[in-house]
């Protein structure tokens, strides 16, 4: 069986076991891209509902103050940070910058991602 996704073995594409760090970075990039695409669709639906008037907007704002929705927002922020920083690493490698150190660069950028995510989480949940 090949490693290329098809209708039978597509779950193997997302399986991080027995993969190199580069493959893991690829999987993270694809999963965050899918998550951000799903968020974009949900965002467009929410904006459409907000066009229904001030009452719909007030209800939406009240709903977004719920801790569960704040957690969802934090996941979107996390996906954006991880996808963006990993994308910068990929772009640099495409231009031949840091190719020999791409594993170290990936680990450093993911550590920076974690710091930024924790910072944004602290800001979001500390304000009550």
pLDDT in tens, 7-29: 677 777 767 677 888 888 988 99
**How many residues can be counted in the chain?**
128
State the maximum Cα–Cα separation within the chain, in Å, rounded to a whole number: 56
Give domain status of residue 14, yes or no.
no
- pLDDT value of residue 42: 87
Residue 104 inside a domain? The answer is yes
In a domain, 51, yes or no: yes
Domain count for the chain, please give it: 1
Residue 59 lies in a domain: yes
- In-domain check, residue 4: no
- Cα–Cα distance, 62 to 68 (Å, whole number): 12
- Other C-beta atoms within 10 Å of 82: how many? 24
| Residue 99: inside a domain | yes
Q: Do residues 25 and 82 lie in contact, with contact meaning Cβ atoms separated by under 8 Å?
A: no
- The CATH code of the domain that includes 105 is 1.20.1300.10
pLDDT tens profile 106-117: 999 999 999 999
pLDDT at 5 over 60: no
| Domain with 119 in it | 21-126
pTM over the 0.85 mark:
no
Residues 6 or more apart in contact with residue 28 via CB below 8 angstroms: 82, 86
| 26 assigned to some structural domain | yes
Residue 98 lies in a domain: yes
């Amino acid at each position: 069986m090949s490693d290329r996704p098809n209708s039978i073995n597509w779950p193997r594409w997302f399986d991080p076991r027995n993969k190199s760090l580069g493959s893991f970075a690829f999987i993270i990039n694809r999963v965050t891209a899918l998550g951000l695409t799903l968020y974009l669709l949900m965002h467009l639906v929410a904006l459409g509902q907000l066009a229904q008037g001030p009452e719909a907007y007030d209800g939406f704002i009240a709903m977004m103050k719920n801790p569960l929705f704040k957690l969802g927002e934090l996941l979107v922020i996390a996906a954006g940070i991880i996808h963006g920083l990993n994308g910068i690493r990929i772009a640099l490698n495409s231009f031949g910058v840091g190719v020999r150190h791409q594993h170290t660069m990936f680990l450093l950028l993911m550590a920076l991602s974690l710091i930024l995510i924790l910072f944004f989480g602290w800001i979001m949940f500390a304000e009550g």
